[in-house]
Structures are given as C-alpha cells and as structure tokens.
Amino acid sequence: MKNKTILVTGGAGFIGSNFISYYLNENPNVNLVNLDNLTYAGDLSNLYEVENNSNYTFVKGDICDRGLIEQLFNKHQFDGVIHFAAESHVDNSITNPGAFIDTNITGTFNLIDVAKSYWMSAPFQFKKGKENNRFHHISTDEVYGSLGDTGLFKEDTPYAPNSPYSASKAASDFIVRSYFHTYGLNVVTTNCSNNYGPKQHNEKLIPTIIRKALSGENIPIYGDGKNIRDWLYVLDHCKGIALVFTQGKSGETYNIGGRNERNNLTIVDTICSILDNIKPANKSYKEQITFVKDRPGHDLRYAIDATKIENDLGWKADENFESGIRKTIDWYLKKYNS
C-alpha cells in the first residue's frame, strides 16, 4: 500500500515547522509536502531537523495560486491537508490588513476548493479511495473575541472577532465549516490559544522580551500589561493537531489550550527572573521593562476550555507555563548567543 501523502501549508513558520518535525518523527511512513511562500515569517532554517528526510518535500509557492495547488494535487495525490499558512501577526493586520484577507481568506478558499474537486465527485460523494481524505484547518481562539474577568471560550461560543487578523481567520473557519455542511467534505478545525516555544518569529511577545532583555534595550509592554492570554507550549499544540487530524470527528471543531492564563506583566516578570538567575547582568532585567502605547482594539482576555479535546480524544498538555518557558528561554539563549 502506498504511503499516505499529506500537504502541509505554512510549514516554514513557527507552528508548522514544529509540527513537521514532530509528525515525521512519530509517523515514519507518512510523506509530507510543505508548501510555503516564505514570507518574512517563513524560515527554512526552522526545518533543519527534516531537510534530509526522504519523506519530506519543500515547495515554495503561494496558497492563493490555484494553478499551483492543482498541479501539486495532481502530482502528489494528497490524502490529507493540514493548513497552517496564514498571516498571523495582529499588529501587522492593523497596518496592512489586505495581506490577511488574501492569504487567510482567499488562500483557504483556494485550498479547500481544490481539495473538494480532487476528492469528491458530487456533494456527499467521495471518489473511490478518497473516502478518508481530510482537510484540517488550523485556527485561533481570537475568533471568539475578548472575555471579561471570567468565563472560557468553548467550541459553541459565538464568534466575535475584533482585529483584521481574527476577522480573516473567522472568515476562513466559516468557509471550512460550509464545505462540510454543503458538500460533505471531511473537515476538522482546531482553535488554539497563544503558542510559545522554539522557532517563533522575533516579532512576537516572548522572543521580543528575551531578545531585548539580552541586548540591554527597553522591553516594550503594551498599555498596563494586564492583557491576559492562555499560553500553550507549541509541542502540546502539535500533539493536539495530530490527534484531531487522525481521530477527530468530521465536521467538528476542537479548542486547544493549556489552562495557563498569564497576563503580560507576569510573563515579562517570569522571563526576567529566570534570566536574572541563569544569565545575571549587573542589574535586574526587570529594570528594562517599559510600558508603551497600547495596541488599538487590544482584546483584554482570552482563555480556552479544552474539555472537549481532553474528554473525547484524551489530549492533555504535557507542559505547564513554568516548564515550557524554561525550555523556550534555553532555546532562544542558544539562538541569540550564536
């Protein structure tokens, strides 16, 4: 029997690259084709662990290019798609929303529409041998909007996206949902909380804190630092994706989150304390913390209820924030010192 071949999009980015090395390691009989157009956020050096793996292929290209996607489906006869590619940084979506509409909405439509044409002959009719082919859409908890002091996002929380980023992801989630309800395509969607860990782009909060601390610059924190996010170590997200891709129920969405709510002040304080301990400077790194003008429309609090994936699929985060942040700091210390 031929090995399964899966199209992974956006695999040169933070989560996709962590996923590819995890998944190939766990599934030596699966071929992965990574389609990524290497925007500023994509970096092939994130894939050093797999670049010589014969089950791994890289293709540089844009998910908005329908002709290319069709060519790839023809050539590789994909058995599944795991769709990470996106514009992902909220701040960039405020200054340049157009790229988010193109990649996150049009790109997702292109991919799922081509998948439907290759796998299905009519609504609710799979072509022979394609019955188990699945489209997995990777999304975010930001589609649910902002929480007050209490409450958690559940899979049935109404969508209320507040930034061009989250609005574009919400739109893509609805496109995927509609392909299940209208055509019977085998889809799953995961909505995850904030990830952290190795290989995240320099622009994001945790790499910025570590980098600025080490270089002696001001460490910028938005507003009063009270915004709360539910932080999940990236490998725990990858394990959740693999579970949902292989065992999730078609048409369902699963929230993934670590039950590790922290406000930005706690994050910066924790990182500075660890750095004070393992790489002491002549004064505490905390003295570099500087409050800067808040992001417009900054959501106050996100927090995930992960009961469904825990109960239905047996997922559980292996790292808590304290263990995950130590691993993360060790990784960035090596990166920034080399």
Q: Taking the complex as a whole, how short is the minimal distance between the CB of residue 280 and ligand NAD, in angstroms?
A: 30
Residues 199-228 that bind ligand NAD (CB under 6 A): 201
Interaction between residue 166 and ligand NAD (CB under 6 A): no
Q: Taking the complex as a whole, how short is the minimal distance between the CB of residue 228 and ligand NAD, in angstroms?
A: 14
Choose which of 20, 58, 62, 315 interacts with ligand NAD (CB under 6 A): 62
Q: Calculate Rg over the CA atoms of the chain.
A: 20
Interaction between residue 16 and ligand NAD (CB under 6 A): yes
Q: Taking the complex as a whole, how short is the minimal distance between the CB of residue 108 and ligand NAD, in angstroms?
A: 9
Instruction: Read off the tokens for 317.
Output: 């985060």
Pairwise CA distance, residues 165 & 26, whole Å: 32
141 is catalytic: yes
87 is catalytic: no
Interaction between residue 64 and ligand NAD (CB under 6 A): yes
Give 98: exposed, middle or buried? Use CB within 10 Å, 0-12, 13-18, 19+. Answer: exposed
User: Tokens 């590619």 appear where?
Assistant: 85
Q: Taking the complex as a whole, how short is the minimal distance between the CB of residue 141 and ligand NAD, in angstroms?
A: 7
Pairwise CA distance, residues 175 & 169, whole Å: 10
| Residue 54 DSSP one-character state | T
* Contact (CB, 8 A) for 209 and 285: no
C-beta closer to ligand NAD: residue 119 or 196: 196
Upper half-sphere CA count for residue 308 (Cβ side, 13 Å): 20
Instruction: Read off the tokens for 62.
Output: 């844009």
Q: How far apart are the first and last CA of the chain?
A: 45
Interaction between residue 14 and ligand NAD (CB under 6 A): yes
Residues 122-141 that bind ligand NAD (CB under 6 A): 138-140
Q: For residue 51, which amino acid is it? A: E
**Interface with ligand NAD by CB under 6 A: which range of 22-30, 61-69, 215-223, 307-315?**
61-69
Q: For residue 184, which amino acid is it? A: G
Interaction between residue 180 and ligand NAD (CB under 6 A): no
Interaction between residue 335 and ligand NAD (CB under 6 A): no
Q: Is 202 strand, coil or helix? A: coil
Interaction between residue 309 and ligand NAD (CB under 6 A): no
Query: Within the chain, what is the greatest distance between any pair of CA atoms?
Result: 69
Q: For residue 45, which amino acid is it? A: S
Q: Taking the complex as a whole, how short is the minimal distance between the CB of residue 256 and ligand NAD, in angstroms?
A: 8
Choose which of 107, 240, 257, 324 interacts with ligand NAD (CB under 6 A): 107
Choose which of 39, 71, 92, 162 interacts with ligand NAD (CB under 6 A): 39
DSSP 75-143: HH--SEEEE------HHHHHH-HHHHIIIIIIIHHHHHHHHHHHHEEETTEEPTT-TT-EEEEEEEGGG
165 is catalytic: yes
**Interface with ligand NAD by CB under 6 A: which range of 67-75, 78-86, 212-220, 263-271?**
78-86
Q: Taking the complex as a whole, how short is the minimal distance between the CB of residue 125 and ligand NAD, in angstroms?
A: 29
Pairwise CA distance, residues 33 & 128, whole Å: 23
Catalytic residue among 141, 236, 261, 319: 141
Question: Which residues of this protein are in contact with ligand NAD, per CB under 6 A?
Answer: 9-10, 12-16, 36-39, 41-42, 62-64, 84-88, 103, 107, 138-140, 169, 192, 194-195, 201
Catalytic residues: 141-142, 165
